Amino acid sequence: MPQLNSLRDELAAKDAALRAAVGDKEAAVAGLSTKMAALEAAGRGVSAEAAAALEKKAGGLSGQLAAVQEELQAARNQLALKDKELRAASEALSGKLQESKQFLAMKQMMQAKSQEAAALRKRLEKYEPQSVPSADTA
């Protein structure tokens, strides 16, 4: 029987060691669970702060976008105004060119030379008749 008692004592010691190990394991699991919960709560807090910061940044960027779009529209309006002024100046210069003394003198001289050339062709026709009629006689 002494052998039986020693086996019982050994079994009791192993049972106590097993219960202690299970208790330590349960305590470790509980500690890990509390740490996980704390980390999740902290993560939610950080993500909420990050989301708020991102929303604030997005609001600022949308304001900047609106300002840039207004500047672009103002630049387009200025460009259209300058284009209109350029066309008006070009038309004014074109009209002034045709009314200038030099242009009118050149035009009168060209008309006189054209009439002179037509008269010379008419005189030449007496000596060298053309088979094709001249555009000046029409």
Residues 22-73 have pLDDT tens digits of: 888 888 888 888 888 888 777 676 677 777 788 888 888 888 888 889 999 9
More confidently predicted of 70 and 96: 70
Task: Give the mean pLDDT of the chain.
Answer: 83
Question: What confidence score (pLDDT) does residue 111 get?
Answer: 97
For residue 60 the two structure tokens come to 């600022």
Q: What is the DSSP string of 60-115?
A: HHHHHHHHHHHHHHHHHHHHHHHHHHHHHHHHHHHHHHHHSHHHHHHHHHHHHHHH
Question: What confidence score (pLDDT) does residue 21 get?
Answer: 82
Question: What confidence score (pLDDT) does residue 108 get?
Answer: 96
Domain locations in the chain as residue ranges: 2-99, 100-130
Query: Are the C-beta atoms of 121 and 134 separated by less than 8 Å?
Result: yes
* 60 vs 54: CA distance, rounded Å: 10
Query: Are the C-beta atoms of 133 and 121 separated by less than 8 Å?
Result: no
Question: What confidence score (pLDDT) does residue 107 get?
Answer: 93
Please give the model's pTM, rounded to 2 decimal places: 0.38
Q: How confident is the model at residue 5 (pLDDT cuts 50, 70, 90)?
A: confident
Question: What confidence score (pLDDT) does residue 39 get?
Answer: 80
More confidently predicted of 71 and 91: 71
More confidently predicted of 137 and 48: 48
For residue 15 the two structure tokens come to 């049972």
Whether the per-residue pLDDT at 81 is higher than 70: the answer is yes
* 19 vs 25: CA distance, rounded Å: 10
Question: What confidence score (pLDDT) does residue 113 get?
Answer: 96
Q: How confident is the model at residue 82 (pLDDT cuts 50, 70, 90)?
A: very high
Query: Are the C-beta atoms of 122 and 136 separated by less than 8 Å?
Result: yes
**6 by DSSP, 3-state: which?**
helix
Max Cα separation, the chain? 166
